Structure 1
């Protein structure tokens, strides 16, 4: 009886401590982007998948709000990133993209030392500063797509954690030359992230 009472008191104290945690978590990550690079044949002829977007390693800032210990929303931010574009291996120019993403997350073990999570949401990518084919080529300005996420937080203390994360984001655009769509590109990158988190 006494043992059961002690266990119950510990459980209540633990849940109260968890409930008193700030709902805000701030993460800084280093993220490596690997585009999937699928494209339709240019002009409808020739081989597919000849347009390639370069890999890139970028900084990322993530703001997470916990509605409950298990359910959270994460806003993923960075600044406009420049990518090189090749066609059949030849460099044809560059563009910049700004890809803010909002994911809903489920955390499996809140308060534990190791807390895995999954997420799903939407990405909005703004494409700008397009310089393709010496100005003859262009890209669509916007892309909206699905975002999938899985990761884990390794808790160091009540505030600090180490984070590992992987995301796949649907980013797609039409390549336009002379006002005509000449190819459809599925960038659809996989993003591998490693960083630190601070729970306020």
Structure 2
């Protein structure tokens, strides 16, 4: 959903532009909800995310009708999933926390990678770039393009996804720097 559509799609929710949340600097936009007996649900959008959403606002693609462009953007959220094996290659992994007894320390949200951005910013950037490059290479080599094709090949078809996982892992294992960075971030390439 694009920024301009959020308010239209959620008329019963308040959209708040704020730079201060919980006495901490937070350059984000928040959407709050007071539905279903819950006191408050909040979703934050960083300034960077808002800028990206504005840049990617729906405009007809060359050679496509408005209906074709709209149909492409109305896919279910599942179509934008990444395979679990790709998520496992991430240096930062969040975990579920029980908030029923109140707030928890920020670091408790992390299964792996708390503070990594501060400790190893250059290495993190380099590793993420390598993973993105290898992932795009695998998709290109296999002729996977577009959201629906990606979803079918990597989420629905488990045999295809496993074959692509193996290709991805081999690309990483063939790159000594990628292996070194994975070890730094305690990522098991097993």
Report the TM-score, using the length of structure 2 for normalisation.
0.21
Of Structure 1 and Structure 2, which has the larger fraction of its residues in helix?
2
Question: Which one scores higher on RCO, CA 8 angstroms, separation ≥ 6?
Answer: 1
Highest Rg: 1 or 2?
1
Q: Which structure shows the bigger proportion of residues in strand conformation? A: 1
